[in-house]
Amino acid sequence: MAVFGQAVGLKTHIWQNNTRSAILLAGFPVLLVLILFGIQVLMMGFGLLPNSGGSLSQDLALAASMLGWTVPTALVAAAVWFVIAYFGNQVMIDAMTGARKVERRIEPELYNLLENLAISRGLRTPTLRIIESPSLNAYASGLHEGNYSVTVTRGLMQTLSRDEMECVLAHELTHVINKDVRTMVIASIFAGIISVIAELVFRSLFYMRGGRSRDNKNAMPLILIGLAIGVIGFGLATVIRMTLSRTREYVADAGAVELTKNPDAMISALRKVSGQSKIEAPDELRGMFLDNTADKADFAGLFATHPPIEKRIAALVKFAGGRDQGPWGPTRTSTAVPTT
């Protein structure tokens, strides 16, 4: 598993992230059209849209013809949503996670840790935010220079030592350097749009019982085709999300070690975070977190946005020479980052 071999080529990783962002931007309209067509076929099958009165192919052709006005309408709505989300993404993320901005005078040592790391890379210090949660997690957000932010939970501050916290901040700063942050924010916006469409359709079908489906001899085939297209569409949405490779976490771990020269502290931080990282937030945002495997066991782990912490630790041991002290017993007494 040459994860750290991949980490060596950071410029390649950044180039791949730029490519993924472009794929997301280009693939979203295609996916939206496919899902819209499936929805229209499904609604026609349920009698919520008029049918052709003819054969199945004529019904499908009628559904396709409707794309002439539904696609422009949907694209305009999605574009408006994207613009709002682009400029207001941090406000939305704060509202969904409960994060609040903190100044240097409030958390001077934590702020200094982040500032020193940023200066060492010639970066403008990201805004620091805190979530008042006992969970152990962190994430970076933002789309461009001057807009980046690093958020940590109060539980993380109270649990990690200074060196461990420095590694976590370095991990999140690496996501900023590698452009992972921008890619994940764009993916979250698109995933949010698709989720809302799915919810609207589900609610419509639940509350609106089609009375005209009995008059359409093609009702059942249309419903099956619509469901099949929907499954394919949402499957492709999952594939697009999977293109946001889990490798980014390995690379960010490697970047943290490169910045701090302390693989032991990174391993220790991951040990403490393991199993205690759950934060109440929409699924679309959890892909940005330091860890998102707290409730991803067994089969669910196949669709996790993050690699298992055990594998991340194994990579740090194998490729960075770190020492693993084994599972952590939470005493919650040792921290060098003063809390308020």
Burial of 299 (0-12, 13-18, 19+ CB in 10 A): exposed
Question: Which helix (DSSP H) or strand (DSSP E) does residue 184 occupy?
Answer: helix 180-207
As a whole number of angstroms, the distance between CA 293 and CA 137 comes to 11
Active site residue 249: no
Quote the crossing angle between the two packed helices 180-207 and 56-97, to the nearest 10°. 120
Nearest to 172 by CA among 152, 143, 156, 196: 152
> Among 107, 164, 166, 172, which one carries the catalytic annotation?
172
113, 170 contact by CB (below 8 A): no
d(CA 340, CA 109): 11
Spatial neighbors of 77 by CB under 8 A, at least 6 apart, are none
Residue 47 · residue 215 · CB < 8 Å: yes
Q: Encoding tokens for residue 199? A: 């919810």
How far from the centroid of its chain's Cα atoms is residue 223's Cα? Answer: 31
Residues 6 or more apart from 133 whose CB is under 8 A from it? 98, 153, 154, 155, 279
202 with 263: CB under 8 angstroms?
no
- Classified as helix, coil or strand, 139 is strand
CA distance 100 to 151: 9
β pairing state of 138-141 and 99-102 = unpaired
Active site members = 172
